[in-house]
Chain A
Amino acid sequence: MMSPETLAELVDRHGPGLTLYARQWCATAEDVVQDAFVKLAGEKPVPQRVVPWLYRVVRNRAIDAGRAERRRRHYETRAAGRSPSWFTPGADSAIDGQVATAALLALPPEQREIITLHLWSDLTFEEIAAVARCSTSTAHRWYAAGLAALRERLNVHAASR
């Protein structure tokens, strides 16, 4: 059984990355992440690799939540235009958070997922492959393709400014 201190540390450390990861599929990312932590607290025994396990649970639940949302409304068609920024405004970065969010949403889902996991959740490509259920080489390939697409898209935005 997981101690409350360990659980709190996991929430503080991986909560933002998990929420960002869940936002790719659904608008209720916080609820999905919270359910994942509650599920982790009830797990006996505790999963050996807790972080990939958490991302796996968040992924499945976010996909289910996104499907439910799409049934209620055409979420995906309007998501890019109305989605709030995934990143804190005014952060010390050369890229605007809102622009980066739009560029990420324009990526194919598998590329966006792997870029998100690698850049903001600090998962290795082996862990990403376990979470996304693909091979490590596929994860590498999708990451490179997604990064190239982002570069192209951000250059377009940069030229339009």
Chain B
Amino acid sequence: MPRADDLEAALRGLTPVAPALDRDRLMYQAGRASRAGAGRCWAIAVGLLAVALAPLTIRMSLNRPEPRGQRMVVRVPSTAPQPLPHQPMPPPQPPLPYDQPPYLTEERGDHSPDVTYFRAEKSVLRWGLDGLPSSPAPPVPVRPADPLPRVRGRF
């Protein structure tokens, strides 16, 4: 029988029975296990997101807020005229003579019917009925044209 020191060496000399491991089956299952881990991570992540979103979805569907008008304060600068101190109204002034082109002024002494009508029309357009003359304009005398001098017999 071996001694104490030799006992250890003798025991080491014993070869364990080879395990009846199905190597191919083991490698196949190991490969499945390694891939199943990755799929499980995704499944866990999706599950957590679904669990986190479910109460929020239910709450939003049940407590749907009514649309409310938004209250806004808009500051607009005041354009209202400031009240002026009370002043007596000035007496109405007679209508001012409108600007007339120089060729229609009375200084030129043009009293043809067309010019008179034109003046009246402009006055009404500017001043209204107040622009009409108080009395009709006097008829413009039509002077007969001077006969042409007879010069034929002189040549």
Which residue of chain B is the closest to A156 with respect to CB atoms? B1
Which residue of chain A is the closest to B4 with respect to CB atoms? A151
Please give, as numbers and ranges, the residues of chain B lying within 8 Å of A41 by CB-CB distance: 29-31, 33-34
Interface of B, helix, strand, loop or mixed by DSSP: helix
B19 contacts A95, CB within 8 Å? Answer: no
A158 to B3, CA, bound (A): 12
How many A-B pairs fall under 8 Å by CB? 111
A38 contacts B33, CB within 8 Å? Answer: yes
A110 to B39, CA, bound (A): 40
B20 within 8 A of A: yes
A137 within 8 A of B: no
A117 within 8 A of B: no
Which residue of chain B is the closest to A12 with respect to CB atoms? B23
A11 contacts B26, CB within 8 Å? Answer: yes
Which one of A60-68, A72-80, A86-94, A124-132 is at the B interface?
Answer: A86-94
Known contacts A37-B30, A38-B26, A42-B34; A30/B8 CB under 8 A: no
Q: Which listed residue (B8, B17, B33) contacts A86, Cβ 8 A?
A: B17
User: B2-17: which have CB < 8 Å to A?
Assistant: 2, 4, 6-8, 10-17
Q: Can you list 22 A-B contacts (CB < 8 A)?
A: A2-B34, A11-B23, A11-B26, A15-B21, A18-B19, A29-B19, A38-B29, A38-B33, A39-B33, A42-B33, A44-B37, A86-B16, A88-B17, A91-B14, A93-B11, A94-B1, A95-B14, A100-B11, A100-B14, A120-B12, A120-B16, A148-B4
Please give, as numbers and ranges, the residues of chain A lying within 8 Å of B52 by CB-CB distance: none
How many B residues touch the partner, as a band? 20 to 34
Binding site for B on A (CB under 8 A): 1-2, 4, 7-8, 11, 15-20, 29-30, 33-34, 37-42, 44, 84-88, 91-95, 97, 100, 115, 119-120, 147-148, 150-151, 154-155, 158
B29 contacts A34, CB within 8 Å? Answer: yes
